[in-house]
Amino acid sequence: MKKQLLLFSLLVVTATGYAQNTKKTSGNPLFPGWYADPEGIIFNSKPHGNQYWIYPTFSAPYKDQVFMDAFSSKDLVSWTKHAKVLDTLNIKWAKKALWAPSIIEKDKKYYMFFGANDIQSDNESGGIGVAVSDKPEGPFKDYLGKPLIDKFHNGAQPIDQFVFKDKDGQYYLYYGGWKHCNVAKLKNDFTGFIPFEDGKIFKEITPDSYVEGPFMFIRNGKYYFMWSEGGWTGPDYSVAYAIANSPFGPFKRIGKILQQDPRVATGAGHHSVIQVPEKDQWYIVYHRRPLTETDGNHRVTCVDLMTFDAKGMINPVIITREGVKSQPLK
Ligand code: FUB
């Protein structure tokens, strides 16, 4: 009996190994589960520098959004889940609606900026917080003991943060829901902000049709600013972008580059971008909703190629079921 069991197990292991070895593309979604607002990143420091990481929102009713999982991969094809890297048990002011993590590595620490509580006015408790860990897989602990931003400024709901390191080493926080986007200059230790020359802390940079989910990257010295448009529970959710010469814009909308494809999925939006180090090779990581699905929370995390034309414009993304080919990092 025991021998039979052993033989059966060997066959299963062999079959699984074979299946993994022959998986040529990532497939979409990248991993099982309802996950939205994915931030994809490659960290600089060893031993984590040879991996892709994705930090998404756990997509569920707000009251159940009390933790965040992360995912890592060596090749974009096989992914490992890291459960509950952030948990509201470790953040006394965060009660629900943990949203849209944005992560950055600095001085051997990992800082995660997150939204919590979905505040509707300045009278409610919550907003954007910061958590810190020694490792990308957490556990992340509350860094400030209170939100970093807990009020509306320039009409922007304090959600959907993105932390950006500029060419000169300065860190900025782009954020905002309710169709307004602000940028603020972070203090070097991320405990607060440095006012701009005009004395203001929150500079509004909202482009046309902006709704939420800002993201920034630099290519060939230009600032590519991207954001989500439409309503996240509907099919028209999408991503548009602008190009500027400065991190403050002006951000003149160029057009949409990610949206639903009625043959593949709806509601494609709230994305991030990964560049393969030292290569002009780019991926867009985003969420979308399976065709015919009507539950707003049924959002899944996907990856597809992002390419540019000869003038540096982003080509419209082709959303796929296959995903992308294996791309191991050095
Ligand atoms: O996942 C919660 C919210 O949905 C995000 O903060 C928005 O950007 C939208 O994707």
**In this predicted structure, which of 6-10, 48-52, 72-76 has the lowest mean pLDDT?**
6-10
* pLDDT at position 189: 98
Q: Residue 20 has what pLDDT? A: 47
Q: Is the per-residue pLDDT at 288 higher than 70?
A: yes
Q: How confident is the model at residue 23 (pLDDT cuts 50, 70, 90)?
A: confident
Per-residue pLDDT reduced to its tens digit, 241-273 = 999 999 999 999 999 999 999 999 999 999 999
**pLDDT confidence tier of residue 299, bands split at 50, 70 and 90:** very high
Is 37 catalytic? The answer is yes
Q: What is the mean pLDDT of residues 309-328?
A: 98
* Residues with Cβ within 8 Å of residue 132, at least 6 apart in sequence: 109, 110, 111, 112, 140, 141, 143
| Predicted local confidence at residue 49, as pLDDT | 73
State pLDDT tens for residues 193-210: 999 999 999 999 999 999
Between the CA of residue 180 and those of 19, 149, 159, 239, what are the distances in Å? Answer: 46, 15, 11, 15
Pocket residues: Cβ below 6 A from ligand 1: 36-37, 57, 99-100, 159-160, 212-213, 232, 270
- Catalytic entry in 87, 142, 160, 212: 212
Rg (CA), the chain: 20
Q: Is 142 an annotated catalytic residue? A: no
59 Cα to the center of ligand 1, angstroms: 9
| Rounded CA separation 144/305 (Å) | 37
pLDDT for res 198: 97
Residue 6 has pLDDT above 70, yes or no: no
Between 20-24, 128-132, 181-185, 236-240, the lowest mean confidence (pLDDT) is in 20-24
What is the model's pTM?
Answer: 0.93
What does the alpha-carbon distance between residue 195 and residue 184 come to, in Å, rounded to a whole number?
A: 8
Please write the tens of the pLDDT for every residue from 51-87: 999 999 999 999 999 999 999 999 999 999 999 999 9
Q: Which domains does the chain have, with CATH numbers?
A: 31-306 (2.115.10.20)
- Kindly give the distance from the C-alpha atom of residue 102 to the centroid of ligand 1, in angstroms, as a whole number: 13
Tell me which of 64, 117, 120, 159 to substitute to probe ligand 1's pocket, judged by most ligand atoms within 8 Å of the beta carbon: 159
For residue 22, the model assigns a pLDDT of 63
> Mean pLDDT over residues 287-316, rounded?
97
Question: In whole angstroms, what separates CA 277 from the centre of its chain?
Answer: 18
pLDDT at residue 48, as a whole number: 74
Residue 19: the pLDDT is: 41
- Which tokens hold the place of 123? 């009278």
- Taking alpha carbons only, the member of 132, 118, 11 closest to residue 61 is 118
Would the pLDDT of 21 be above 70?
no
Phi then psi for 84, rounded to 5 degrees?
50, 55
Whole-number pLDDT of residue 18: 40
- Decide if 70 contacts 82 (C-beta within 8 A): yes
Q: Calculate the average pLDDT of the chain.
A: 93
CA–centroid distance, residue 285 to ligand 1 (Å): 14
Q: What percent of the chain has pLDDT over 90?
A: 90
Atom of ligand 1 nearest to the CA of 237: 10
